[in-house]
Amino acid sequence: MKLPMSWLNDYTDVSGISPKEYAHVMTMTGSKVEGVESMGAEINKVVCGKVLECEPHPDSDHLSVCKVDAGTGEVLQIVCGAPNVKAGIIVPTALHGSTLPGGVKIKKGKLRGVVSNGMLCSHDELGLTAADLGYEPEYGILILPEDTPVGKDIKEVFGLNEDVVEFEITSNRPDCFSVIGLARETAASFKRPFAVKKPCFTEAGGDIHELIDIQVQNKEKCLRYTSKMVRNVKIGPSPEWMVRRLKACGVRSINNIVDITNYVLLEYGQPMHAFDLRDLAGGKIVVRSAHPGEIIKTLDETDRKLTPDDLVIADGEKAVAVAGVMGGFNSEVKPDTQTVVFESATFDGTSVRKTAQRIGLRTEASSRYEKGLDVYNTLPAVERACQLVEELGCGEIVGGTIDIFGNRKEKTTLALRPEKINAFLGTDISKEQMIEILRTLEFEVDEAAMTITAPTFRPDIECEADISEEIARFYGYDLIPTTLLSGETTIGIKNKEQQAEDRLSSVMLSQGFNEICTYTFTSPSVFDKLNIPSDSDMRNVVKIRNPLGEDTSVMRTTTLGSMLETLSRNLNFSNKSAKLFEIGRIYIPREGELPEEPEILTLGMYGDSFDFYDIKGACEAVISEMHVKDVSYEQCTDNPTFHPGRCACITAGDRQIGVVGQLHPSVAANYDIDVPVYAAQIELEGLMAAAESTVKYKQLPKFPAVTRDIAMLVDVQVPVAALEGIITAAGGKLMESVQLFDVYEGKQIPEGKKSVAYSVVFRAADRSLTNDEVNVIFDKMLKNLEKEAGAQLR
Amino acid sequence: MKEKIQRIKELVEENLRGASDLEALENIRIKFLGKKGELTAVLKGMGALPAEERPVIGAMANEVRAFLEREIDGKKEELSAKLREAKLKREVIDVTMPGRVQETGKLHPLTSVMNSVKDIFLGMGFQIADGPEVEYDYYNFEALNIPPDHPARDSQDTFYINDNVVLRSQTSPMQIRVMEKQKPPIRIIAPGMVYRSDAVDATHSPVFHQIEGLVVDKGITMADLKGTLEMFIKSLYGSETKVRFRPHHFQFTEPSAEVDVSCFVCGGEGCRVCKGEGWIEILGCGMVHPKVLSNCGIDPEEYSGFAFGLGLERIAMRKYDIDDLRLFYENDLRFLKQF
């Protein structure tokens, strides 16, 4: 809401308050000031001057030497270069030491040897546009009307000496969307007087009741309908002061009657509408629900289809306005309008809001109505409009008022408990001060019963906390003390999952992986890009009904898409290699309840001649950090996203907790990645479930170990995990560890075979092992390897 | 015999003077003191001496041997020291050459800042709560005193899944979830992702992070709210930071406030960053609305509380001087590696 400070003076007194102080104090009492625009702030010492004489410059063919009376008590000699300068005109005159927009400073000087004591200005030099003037001025200096007083400050002439304050009004304060509402807050904030005078005007006779019939059929949605009539209307332009105020508030002047309704809207916060009586068929206004499918052409010349949930203002035949939203095209005020019917009504906020949403039309009026307007404001507002009609001389007020109430709401009365309020705020404000603050804000206070009744323009006051806020903001938020929490002590500690996540992150960091953060919604096309079959469960997604675009229209069921997008982007940024991880959610729809949102650790990498074992190693580091036992990696050939020969399922116990592998080249290509790219996903819940939560110290060995190496030839297809299984099974309790140290194919190895070598460590906790003891086990290992894996020992 | 021994002593001394490396020194030792050395040879001839001279000569020979051994050792030490010195000189390297880095990864800047915020509140006895991002309208709005068709819904352009389910537009639904589950005293923060249908630009993102805070207990006051948040802000931004609580409106708190801190750039004088105001808004807060408490089965006559919510991106942008929010979600390594 924009508000010229001078308008406030009609209701309170803001003299002597600088815009900066005003902004600060209002902000601290809850009316947040977004900024103050000082119109014409840069213009200083520019006055109206009369050109008394105008002679050509002796030394120039286009300059003139003028004698100017600028009301300074002496005649000023000013050199002017404008072609339209002549004796007798009144023009803006920048005196010696004056300033103009853009930081221009005007000083005494000589122009081609002739003294010039200032400058005669064009509209452009004053920062005025044709729109400001209301006409296109001729080229040259700005010629002012002949009756403009000499010496008058140019800012006064053009209404430029105005500070316009822009407020951020919160949705709970519809009353503050008005000059009067803000004047009331201003008065309370600065402890200045505040008064709204009852508008006075003379009625010219006649009776509105005989000229129009108004009925309110829907009393739930129309809470009050107040109307007055103006006849012998003379449509024309509004006076300059009104145009200026409207303009400062960002409202364009249309004609006197429309301007009056807008002026009252700004001043009283009450939307108004002016109908041309000629257009109301049957001389009737009926406030009713729209007929199913009823169509109205609104002021913006658009046909709107309505439903019975929409409230309309109708005449004897048809809808002439969508109640609280916009008037109809057919009944607006026209240049030859004779009789005007003013509507000043209150409609149910929710109903207006729904209608505005339904027909996709948010207007100044609807955005006010939906916040809940004061039913007691309709009459003063329409009377103010009549007063303005009289003041502007643009019509005669017909006698009588039509004023129909719909369903009335009770006023809110609440107990005032100062001790409770102080206990709530942590303050020590006296009862008297509380009462004073509330009365300033027009609350009725019953000191005997210790109750308050909120004014009808404050629909936001519903409970004690609301009263506390009123008191707090005028007592001063900054005066409320600052204390630390007392009471029962609570422990600030992360839970197990949160601690585990921290550990996961730090393992990833130590492995050189950088954390990323990605959008959790994605495009449905991601599944095709990942080669996910059309019947996959992963395609069952949580869909956003009103997405920003197709690209962000579904919640992801896999994190791989976002990871690959990020890797691709990095490749595109010429980052030679990347190791990335993310701990993020996926969203799995569930019938009849909210989706499941499991957290997934996702790893991704490319570059630096990384291969499968680099990313697998990173997974192993994570799993080892969590002390997960019984982990296995099994070849997975049927995950269509991954390379069929380079992908493993990660299993802990009998639960699959993840997948790791090289992305299928076609998937990589779908993401414009032309290098080998690797990724892994580990489901956190599965990982945590398999994690060993208690870690116990094992005695360091007291007795020496015996190490034996095994080297063998096996078929290429035999996975080393199978060999390890055989070794471990045979090793029994005395085997401490088995370590793969070489795998080799090629020269000196027969075709179809590979050489595999292990180092096996044996140890007993309670004695030194003898060679014989070890030999027995070792021989069994070798035998089993030969038998079960067809190994040829070397 | 005496002369021979004396002569050997002199010879050794002379040879030692000329010895320039450890090998020469060892040769001298072997030549004179070794098993087949000259002094040993002399001593072997002792048998030929008269019995009374043997102890005298023997003592002398031992004395000379000990003396010579000391001399040789001394010389050896001297030569070793020289060698060491020379070796050290040879081993000089250019220490200004870069070190070999075992590259570690970096936390995302949002996580780093989130961690600092968490740490401060953990230190104040808060726990961390977590909840769904796909949320019921009831938790996101209704239970927070924002009924259907309330104008306050306008300020949060919400993504809908269906009539009853939304992508949470704020972390505030966690207030309700925590209060439904837990009895006071409650002190929690609830960080997480939130969603609003804002088009992406330098200062807007349809996905961003908030941190919600909630304290409910007997006797919680607005002064406690001010004290707690002031402590948090000063821990985060430094003790010289000025904090301003300014009345505002939120449907689920009453009284409500927005909190400004003195501008990081100008310190309060007014500059371009703070749009001349000298203050920068960093969070919204207020006393939990009695209706919200009641909605969760907590009696507002007995208990009171405060809640607050802050935007993580905004804090991180200020902290690191990041001027474009999109960088957080672009995840360019050249960006990520800076933190």
Q: Are B268 and B242 in contact (CB under 8 A)?
A: yes
Question: Could you tell me if B135 lies within 8 Å of chain A, comparing CB atoms?
Answer: yes
DSSP state of B247: E
Cis peptide, bond prior to residue B255, ω within 30 of zero: yes
Percent of chain A with pLDDT over 70: 100
Is residue B151's pLDDT more than 80?
no
Q: Are A50 and A69 in contact (CB under 8 A)?
A: yes
Q: Which long-range contacts (CB under 8 A, 24 or more apart) does A527-534 make?
A: A528/A670, A529/A561, A529/A564, A529/A667, A529/A670, A529/A671, A530/A558, A530/A560, A530/A561, A530/A564, A530/A640, A530/A641, A530/A667, A530/A670, A531/A640, A531/A641, A531/A664, A531/A666, A531/A667, A532/A558, A532/A640, A532/A641, A533/A640
Q: A208-405 adopts what CATH topology?
A: Phenylalanyl-tRNA Synthetase; Chain B, domain 3 (3.50.40)
**Residues forming beta bridges with residue B217, ordered by sequence position:** B304
The 3-class SS string of A196-250 reads CCCCCCCECCCCHHHHCEEEECCCCCEEEEEEEEEECCCCCCCCHHHHHHHHHCC
**Residues recorded for chain A:** 794
How far is residue A504's CA from residue A497's CA, in Å, rounded to a whole number? 10
Q: Is B159–A595 a contact, with Cβ atoms under 8 angstroms apart?
A: no
Q: Is B331–A469 a contact, with Cβ atoms under 8 angstroms apart?
A: no
Instruction: Dump pLDDT digits (tens) for A375-389.
Output: 999 999 999 999 999
Which residues on A lie below 8 Å from B241 (Cβ)?
none
DSSP state of A549: S
Q: Is A519–B329 a contact, with Cβ atoms under 8 angstroms apart?
A: yes
Largest CA distance in chain B: 132
Is residue B155's pLDDT more than 70?
no
Q: Which residue has the tokens 């140290």?
A: A741
The CA-to-CA distance between both ends of chain A, in Å, stands at 90
Is residue A583's pLDDT more than 70?
yes
**Residues recorded for chain B:** 339
Q: Are A323 and A348 in contact (CB under 8 A)?
A: no
Is residue B267's pLDDT more than 80?
no
Is residue A77's pLDDT more than 80?
yes
Selected residues 320-339 of chain B with any CB under 8 Å from a CB in chain A: 328-334, 336-337
CATH number for the A2-40+162-190 domain, one of 3.30.56.10, 3.40.50.1970, 1.10.40.30, 3.40.50.460?
Answer: 3.30.56.10
Which residues on B lie below 8 Å from A468 (Cβ)?
222, 254-255, 287
pLDDT of residue A314: 94
pLDDT of residue A131: 66
Kindly give, in sequence order, each residue whose CB lies less than 8 Å from that of residue A315, ignoring residues fewer than 6 positions away. Answer: A279, A280, A281, A282, A284, A285, A286, A331
Q: Is A492–B228 a contact, with Cβ atoms under 8 angstroms apart?
A: no
Instruction: Give backbone dihedrals phi and psi of B60, rounded to 5 degrees, phi first.
Output: -65, -50
Which part of chain A has CATH 3.30.56.10? 2-40+162-190, 414-479
Q: Are A736 and A764 in contact (CB under 8 A)?
A: no
pLDDT of residue B9: 83
Which part of chain A has CATH 3.50.40.10? 208-405
Instruction: Give backbone dihedrals phi and psi of A376, rounded to 5 degrees, phi first.
Output: -85, 5
Q: Are A287 and A323 in contact (CB under 8 A)?
A: yes
Is residue A441's pLDDT more than 80?
yes
Q: Is A485–B228 a contact, with Cβ atoms under 8 angstroms apart?
A: yes
Its CATH class, for the domain covering A706-793, is: alpha beta
How far is residue A545's CA from residue A533's CA, in Å, rounded to a whole number? 24
Cα Rg of chain A, angstroms: 42
Shortest Cα distance, chain B CAs vs residue A685, angstroms: 14
CATH number 3.30.470.20 is the correct assignment for the domain at A44-157 = no
* Residue B14: count of CB within 10 angstroms of its CB: 10
- Closest residue to B247, CB basis, from A466, A473, A513: A473
Which part of chain A has CATH 2.40.50.140? 44-157
Nearest to B195, CA basis, from B170, B231, B230: B170
**Residues forming beta bridges with residue B214, ordered by sequence position:** B188, B307
Question: Could you tell me if B285 lies within 8 Å of chain A, comparing CB atoms?
Answer: no
CATH number for the A414-479 domain, one of 3.40.50.2300, 3.30.360.10, 3.30.56.10, 3.40.50.1820?
Answer: 3.30.56.10
Q: Three-state SS for A574? A: coil
Q: A496-690 adopts what CATH topology?
A: BirA Bifunctional Protein; domain 2 (3.30.930)
Strands (E) in A75-183, as ranges, are 75-80, 90-100, 104-106, 109-111, 114-116, 118-120, 162-168
Q: Is A472–B247 a contact, with Cβ atoms under 8 angstroms apart?
A: yes
Mean pLDDT for the stretch of residues A593-617: 95
Mean pLDDT for the stretch of residues A546-566: 95
Mean pLDDT for the stretch of residues A299-311: 92
Shortest Cα distance, chain B CAs vs residue A36, angstroms: 11
How far is residue A442's CA from residue B263's CA, in Å, rounded to a whole number? 37
How far is residue A793's CA from residue A786's CA, in Å, rounded to a whole number? 8
Instruction: Dump pLDDT digits (tens) for A219-258.
Output: 999 999 999 999 999 999 999 889 889 988 989 889 999 9
Under the banding of pLDDT at 50, 70 and 90, the label for residue A600 is: very high
How far is residue A636's CA from residue A488's CA, in Å, rounded to a whole number? 54
Query: Which position has the higher pLDDT, A102 or A477?
Result: A477
Q: Is A170–B248 a contact, with Cβ atoms under 8 angstroms apart?
A: yes
- For residue A586, the Cα-to-chain-centroid distance in whole angstroms is 25
- Closest residue to A575, CB basis, from B134, B228, B334: B334
Mean pLDDT for the stretch of residues A359-387: 93
pLDDT of residue B56: 83
Which residues on B lie below 8 Å from A581 (Cβ)?
105
Q: Are B308 and B276 in contact (CB under 8 A)?
A: no
One-character DSSP codes across B320-335: HT---THHHHH--HHH
How far is residue B191's CA from residue B130's CA, in Å, rounded to a whole number? 7
Tokens of A282: 């049957």
Cis peptide, bond prior to residue B185, ω within 30 of zero: yes
Q: Which residue has the tokens 């060679």?
A: A771
Q: Are B32 and B12 in contact (CB under 8 A)?
A: yes
Mean pLDDT for the stretch of residues A464-478: 96
Burial of residue A751 (CB within 10 Å: 0-12, 13-18, 19+) is exposed
How far is residue A74's CA from residue A149's CA, in Å, rounded to a whole number? 16
Give this prediction's pTM: 0.84
Q: Three-state SS for A470? A: helix
Q: Are B336 and A514 in contact (CB under 8 A)?
A: yes
Tokens of A479: 């005066």
One-character DSSP codes across B158-199: --BSSSSEEE-SSSTHHHHHHHHH-PSSEEEEEEEEEE----
Nearest to A628, CA basis, from A605, A596, A601, A610: A601
Helical (H) or strand (E) element with A784: helix A771-789
Tell me the pairing of strands A284-289 and A213-216.
parallel
Q: Three-state SS for A110? A: strand
pLDDT of residue B35: 83
How far is residue A229's CA from residue A395's CA, in Å, rounded to a whole number? 10
CA angle A552, A554, A556 (to 5 degrees): 100
Size of interface A-B (CB pairs under 8 A): 243
Q: Which amino acid is at A645?
A: G
Nearest to A172, CA basis, from A410, A408, A471, A462: A462
Helical (H) or strand (E) element with B294: helix B290-295
Q: Is B134–A594 a contact, with Cβ atoms under 8 angstroms apart?
A: yes
Is residue A682's pLDDT more than 80?
yes
How far is residue A703's CA from residue A700's CA, in Å, rounded to a whole number? 9
Instruction: Dump pLDDT digits (tens) for B9-22.
Output: 888 888 888 888 88
Q: Three-state SS for A453? A: strand
Which part of chain A has CATH 3.30.930.10? 496-690
Q: Is A468–B254 a contact, with Cβ atoms under 8 angstroms apart?
A: yes
pLDDT of residue B132: 97
Tell me the pairing of strands A514-515 and A578-585.
parallel
**Residues forming beta bridges with residue A225, ordered by sequence position:** A345, A404
Closest residue in B to A366 (Cα–Cα): B151
Instruction: Dump pLDDT digits (tens) for A162-205.
Output: 889 999 998 889 999 999 999 999 999 999 999 999 999 999 88
- Upper half-sphere CA count for residue A180 (Cβ side, 13 Å): 20
Kindly give, in sequence order, each residue whose CB lies less than 8 Å from that of residue A619, ignoring residues fewer than 6 positions away. Answer: A603, A650, A658, A660, A680, A682
Q: Three-state SS for A514? A: strand
Helical (H) or strand (E) element with A180: helix A179-190
Q: Is B151–A512 a contact, with Cβ atoms under 8 angstroms apart?
A: no
Tokens of B4: 């021979």
